[in-house]
Amino acid sequence: MKKTNIYENENKNVMKPNHNLYEFISAAAVIFLLFMASLLTFAGKDREYSENENRTLASKPVFSFTSITDGKFMDDTDAYLSDQFVFRDALVKTRTNIDVFLGKREINGVYIGKKHYLFEEPSVYNETRVRKTINTMNGISAKYGEIRSYVALAPNSTEIITDYLPANAPVQNQTEQIGKVYSLLNGYTCIDICTPLKNAENPEDLYYKTDHHWTADAVDIAYRRICESMQLDANAYQYNKLAVTNDFQGTLASSSGIFSASDTIYVPTCPSDIMYRVSYVNEGKTCTTVFDQSKLQEKSKYDVFFGGNFAQVIIETNSSSDRVLMVIKDSYANSLIPLLIPHFKTIVVVDPRYYSDNLNQIIEREEVTDILWVYNANTFLNDTSISGKLS
Amino acid sequence: MVFSSATFLIVFLPITIALYYLFGVAITKSTVVKNFILLIASLVFYAWGEPVYIILMMISICFNFFIGKDIDQSKRMNNRAKAKMLFIAAIIFNIGVLGFFKYSNFLIDNITNITGLGIRPLNLPLPVGISFYTFQILSYIIDLYNGNIRAQRRFLSFALYVSLFPQLIAGPIVKYKDIADQLVYRKEDLSSFSKGVNRFVFGLSKKLILANTLGSVYASVQEAGADNMSMLTAWVGIICYTLQIYFDFSGYSDMAIGLGGMFGFNFCENFNYPYIAMSITDFWRRWHMSLSSWFRDYVYIPLGGNRCKVPRVILNLLIVWLLTGFWHGASWNFLLWGLYYGILLILEKYLLAGLINKMPKPLRWIITIICVMVGWVLFSAPSLSEAFSYIGAMFGYAVSFADSFGAFILFTNLVLIIIGSICATPVYAFLSGIFKGEKFSKIMAVVTPVLFILCIVFMISETYNPFLYFRF
Amino acid sequence: MKYKNYLIPEILCVVCLIGFIVWICILSSGGTQKSVDEVTVPVVAVMMQNQMTKKTNADAIKAFDFDVSKIEGLAYYSNDSVMDVSEMLIVKLNDADDASEFKTAIQNRVTDLENTYKNYAPDQYALLQDCIIKTSGNTVFYCTAQNADELYDAYKKAL
């Protein structure tokens, strides 16, 4: 039978080795590794928690009729075996090293820059999302016209430490993004943080190498800029920087799995004549410092500021000022607020992501005189929690 | 279950090998016991991914087993009318099941679009592997009816043929006539076992080390969207996808062939370096060969093949290629993809044959590979409009030449792309020619276990999922 | 040669196939004529004490961004605390064709919540990842809770 020329196949054997002995040796090695991986994984004790990944590892799946028929049992088994796989952490680390060695410069949304600098992949400007946030913000400034309202959006490290970005890294022009947001706001004094940070002498000191937050140096610049806009005297109170840890490996290190560098965290010391009391409203906790030293023993060392993020924190001071400030913020503000304490009678700190009620309540209850929004551009552009927080 | 999962590698495979060799090969030496162990393993393997649809496969196996015997019997009794009737019934049954589970949503959607009737789509999930095992069953039924083979008398052997786990969910499509003898008698020896293990590791490496990493590059390009894509991005993306789909699919075939070897089976080859093809005709002689040969034997030749007048041959080719496209999935993309290849092949056969032969080889290769890449855009895009805007971006329609994203993904993945491109050529045969004989085997004896370790590294690291609850 | 009759097993297989297809279609479609309240009562009975409280329809529409005109009735329960993401929603639609749209809306909310809790409260994040979103005909069920499986079973029975 004559075959059509479209389909003429020649089945060539792809592997044509002649030396059975060596073939056998490599096959034996593979089979040995296979059985060893299996034995060691099952013989090993289940780990409950992974220090590296900061999460509870999957445990033995539950066997039941429904979990079988809807496939949950199978998915759980896969997750369980992968999580408990022998030498898991070492395997993951090897992978990261291979990736970086082969030239990869983006892992899990983290850019791997020069001199151990890691960068968070910047957010894109989502028109509808930003519009919703802006509507709420404008609603507040319109409703409380007598309150002085300020917005300070901070750029992220991709905008400032441009020299250490990996070549060609796709970044967003955050100065432009922030400008766009500012142009949509009504009734706010918009504070330009980008320019002074860009003009700083050592831009590489403004952000942590391994974390997406800004450092004390950047906070100092932003603080002076904010004081200018809010008519506060930044030089009225002197503070010192105190290094509290130098082995901080932050979120970007964890996300990418690259733990090649560590950062130092500095906290500002408060002028000695200023006393204050901090109340965590939802937690019903009160203390006399905004620093939580216990967090320095943990992985999340940036939480030394305020101990993390809370829905509502009220700071009452013995300052001679009669202004009441409300800070609506993300975690960038946590390291900034300590510097603002001496300037206000009361500071109410609200994190809309964890505060579920309307903002009106607090504004009216605390008789707020100033509102300051502090966000970093990435979080602000992705935020969905501000919209709808006004009744 | 997929071969590249922890469950398969450290639970299913060791247990199956141990049981098979302990009870099947060492203790009883009986093919029935071996087949029984493999059948149970295969059913567990399938049920792991499709705990409900395994019932469908069992029904299909039973029906075809009985009707196969019936057809055989009728033929032997010279009852042609009955054989024909049974044959048609079997075809309707199998095509019906495949059509219902794979194509009903597509048909209903399109009927609704055209007529405006409000028929509700069933939205049934597609049973994994149904296209593959249905085609295997059809090869059995058709060959039986044509008198090329005898019916399988043992239910166990037939059930194993349909459900054999190495090729169950992604091929190669093994024809019954090629494997009938091995179902009854096969001898496992050290050499075929070792070859199988090595082949399996190669396949696993293609899938885990190359396909998955290249795939993530393409995924990031797709995420960026065709709207704001540069020419450079589009090309980097499609090159990565072109390599990904080859390593994914041929890696799976390698693993299937390797696993078959471990259990004494000898499956047909499925790929023969398709990306070194010098024409589209050549490409399809090298890509998914078991599928093309299935369509050749059971559709193209019965339609008359190319022993008819030219218009009829063209019609035959178009039918075969539309079906080939449709086999890959129930959407217009796949139909168009099939039609695209049908037209290219017809052009090559009747219009361009002389021209192509005159072209210098590098030019022929470049034209072929570009045609293949354009094909992959049709194949991979979620919708036709997205496919067209992607193709537009590739050829500079309304997009910039290059942007930083394109440069970034190109340079940060360049090594990977180069390694992938090299591995898509017959580099293995080339190297074994350079390092004559034993030396190469020695090197491979070290390289293969290292590759296996790398596979595990890549497999486990894909589940790295750090929590950053101190993030904000 | 003796002639064996295979007709009976063949027909049996076809009957099985038809049975299977009917079963799987029923399994994947479903729907109910009962009112949302009737379906909700037995589900609420399974809830743990203080696990969730009833919310108004307006709350649900605000939270999920639903198109009100497509809804026949709904029941929405959730926990009042920010630190507890437990919630349960049953929504019955006028037209089963809209179910996928509502499923997407619910999925979007879950994604938003996941983003909020991902790096903040891993246990709550884990609950969200294991949430159940199921459509049966004209009714969509969604639940994030420790005992989501139990609630879903109760809902299934109540349909």
Kindly state the greatest CA–CA separation across chain A: 103
The residues spanned by each domain of chain C are: 31-158
Task: Tell whether A43 lies on the interface with B, counting CB pairs under 8 A.
Answer: no
- Based on the residue annotation, tell me whether B288 is a catalytic residue of this protein: no
User: Least CB-CB distance to B63: which of C13, C24, C28?
Assistant: C13
For residue A22, list chain B residues with Cβ-Cβ distance below 8 A: 438, 441-442, 444-445
For residue C127, list chain B residues with Cβ-Cβ distance below 8 A: none
Gap from A273 CA to chain B (nearest CA, Å): 31
> Which of A228-242, C5-19, C108-122 comes out lowest in average pLDDT?
C108-122
> Strand, helix or coil at A267?
strand
State yes or no: pLDDT of A12 exceeds 60.
no
B408 with A106: Cβ contact below 8 A: yes
Q: What is the arithmetic mean of pLDDT over C30-40?
A: 75
A55 with C120: Cβ contact below 8 A: no
B469 with C29: Cβ contact below 8 A: no
pLDDT at A66: 75
Gap from B141 CA to chain C (nearest CA, Å): 14
Q: Global pTM? A: 0.86
- Regions of chain B where pLDDT drops below 50: 469-472
Contact B88, B11 (CB under 8 A): no
Q: What is the arithmetic mean of pLDDT over A195-213?
A: 93
Q: Is the peptide bond before B172 cis (omega within 30 degrees of 0)?
A: yes
Gap from B333 CA to chain C (nearest CA, Å): 23
User: Least CB-CB distance to A95: which of B1, B6, B457?
Assistant: B457
State yes or no: pLDDT of A16 exceeds 70.
no
Orientation of helix C7-28 relative to helix B54-76, angle to 10°? 160
Tracing tokens 């210098």 back to the chain, one arrives at: B360
pLDDT at A390: 78
Helix or strand holding residue A327 (H, E): strand A324-329
B115-119: long-range contacts at Cβ-Cβ below 8 A with a sequence spacing of 24 or more? B118/C97
Contact B410, B232 (CB under 8 A): yes
For residue B345, list chain A residues with Cβ-Cβ distance below 8 A: 6
> Strand, helix or coil at B443?
helix
C82 with A66: Cβ contact below 8 A: no
Chain B positions with Cβ closer than 8 Å to C: 52, 55-56, 59-60, 62-63, 66-67, 69-70, 73, 76-77, 89, 93, 97, 100, 118, 120, 122-124, 467-472
B411 with A18: Cβ contact below 8 A: no
Distances (CA, A) of A56 to A90, A256, B244, B427, C126: 18, 18, 33, 44, 10
Chains touching chain A at 3 or more Cβ pairs under 8 angstroms? B, C
For residue B73, list chain C residues with Cβ-Cβ distance below 8 A: 3-4, 6
How many whole angstroms separate alpha carbon A271 and alpha carbon A339? 10
B472 with C6: Cβ contact below 8 A: no
State yes or no: pLDDT of A2 exceeds 70.
no
> Strand, helix or coil at A19?
coil
Task: Tell whether A108 lies on the interface with C, counting CB pairs under 8 A.
Answer: no
Which residue from B241, B278, B276 is spatially nearest to B375, judged by alpha carbons? B241
How many whole angstroms separate alpha carbon A386 and alpha carbon A135? 10
Average pLDDT, chain A: 87
For residue A308, list chain B residues with Cβ-Cβ distance below 8 A: 470
Chains touching chain C at 3 or more Cβ pairs under 8 angstroms? A, B
Residue A227 tokens read as 């004081």
Gap from C116 CA to chain A (nearest CA, Å): 7
A22 with B404: Cβ contact below 8 A: no
User: What ipTM was predicted for this assembly?
Assistant: 0.84
Residues 2-61 of C with CB under 8 A from A: none
**Helix residue ranges per DSSP H, chain A:** 20-43, 65-69, 72-83, 88-101, 127-143, 157-160, 174-184, 194-198, 216-230, 251-256, 337-340, 359-365, 377-382
pLDDT at B211: 92
Residues 285-304 of A with CB under 8 A from B: 299-300, 302-303
User: Least CB-CB distance to B285: which of A8, A82, A168?
Assistant: A8
How many whole angstroms separate alpha carbon B386 and alpha carbon B225? 9
How many whole angstroms separate alpha carbon A383 and alpha carbon B461? 30
Look at strands A148-154 and A370-376 and give their pairing: parallel
User: Least CB-CB distance to B472: which of A35, A171, A330?
Assistant: A330
Roughly how many angstroms between the first and final C-alpha of chain B, as a whole number? 38
For residue B404, list chain A residues with Cβ-Cβ distance below 8 A: 168-171
Gap from B285 CA to chain A (nearest CA, Å): 6
B56 with C17: Cβ contact below 8 A: yes
State yes or no: pLDDT of A3 exceeds 70.
no
The residues spanned by each domain of chain B are: 6-186, 193-461
State yes or no: pLDDT of A214 exceeds 50.
yes
State yes or no: pLDDT of A58 exceeds 90.
no
State yes or no: pLDDT of A10 exceeds 60.
no
Q: Which of C62, C87, C129, C149 is the best residue to mutate to test the A interface, defined by the most A CB atoms within 10 Å of its own CB? A: C149
pLDDT at A270: 76
For residue A354, list chain C residues with Cβ-Cβ distance below 8 A: 82, 120
C6 with B62: Cβ contact below 8 A: no
For residue A384, list chain C residues with Cβ-Cβ distance below 8 A: 112, 115
Q: Which of B123, B158, B463 is the best residue to mutate to test the C interface, defined by the most C CB atoms within 10 Å of its own CB? A: B123
pLDDT at B470: 42
pLDDT at A14: 43
How many whole angstroms separate alpha carbon B312 and alpha carbon B154? 42
Radius of gyration of chain B from Cα atoms?
24
C20 with B55: Cβ contact below 8 A: yes
How many whole angstroms separate alpha carbon B105 and alpha carbon B120? 9
* C121 against A29, higher pLDDT: A29
Please report which confidence band the pLDDT of residue A113 belongs to, taking 50, 70 and 90 as the band edges. Answer: very high
How many whole angstroms separate alpha carbon A381 and alpha carbon A383? 6
Q: What is the arithmetic mean of pLDDT over A121-130?
A: 89
For residue A4, list chain B residues with Cβ-Cβ distance below 8 A: 296, 300, 305-306
pLDDT at C102: 86
Residues C57-113 have pLDDT tens digits of: 877 887 787 877 888 888 888 887 767 888 888 888 887 777 888 888 888 888 888
pLDDT at B400: 85
> Strand, helix or coil at A256?
helix
B123-128: long-range contacts at Cβ-Cβ below 8 A with a sequence spacing of 24 or more? B123/C28, B124/C24, B124/C25, B124/C28, B126/B101, B126/B102, B127/B50, B127/B53, B127/B56, B127/B57, B127/B101, B128/B46, B128/B49, B128/B50, B128/B53, B128/B169
Gap from B70 CA to chain C (nearest CA, Å): 6
Please report which confidence band the pLDDT of residue C50 belongs to, taking 50, 70 and 90 as the band edges. Answer: confident
> Strand, helix or coil at B17?
helix
pLDDT at A98: 93
Contact B457, B205 (CB under 8 A): no
Roughly how many angstroms between the first and final C-alpha of chain C, as a whole number? 57
Percent of all residues in chain A with a pLDDT value above 90, rounded to a whole number: 52
For residue C120, list chain B residues with Cβ-Cβ distance below 8 A: 469, 471-472
C116 with A353: Cβ contact below 8 A: yes
Beta-carbon contacts below 8 Å between A and C: 21
State yes or no: pLDDT of A5 exceeds 60.
no
State yes or no: pLDDT of A8 exceeds 70.
no
Roughly how many angstroms between the first and final C-alpha of chain A, as a whole number? 82
> Which of A12-21, A336-345, B336-345, C57-66 comes out lowest in average pLDDT?
A12-21
Catalytic residue among B328, B349, B371, B432: B328
pLDDT at B139: 94
A69 with B52: Cβ contact below 8 A: yes
Task: Tell whether C120 lies on the interface with A, counting CB pairs under 8 A.
Answer: yes
User: Least CB-CB distance to C82: which of A56, A354, A382?
Assistant: A354
Residues 275-294 of A with CB under 8 A from C: 282
Beta-carbon contacts below 8 Å between A and B: 242
Task: Tell whether C115 lies on the interface with A, counting CB pairs under 8 A.
Answer: yes
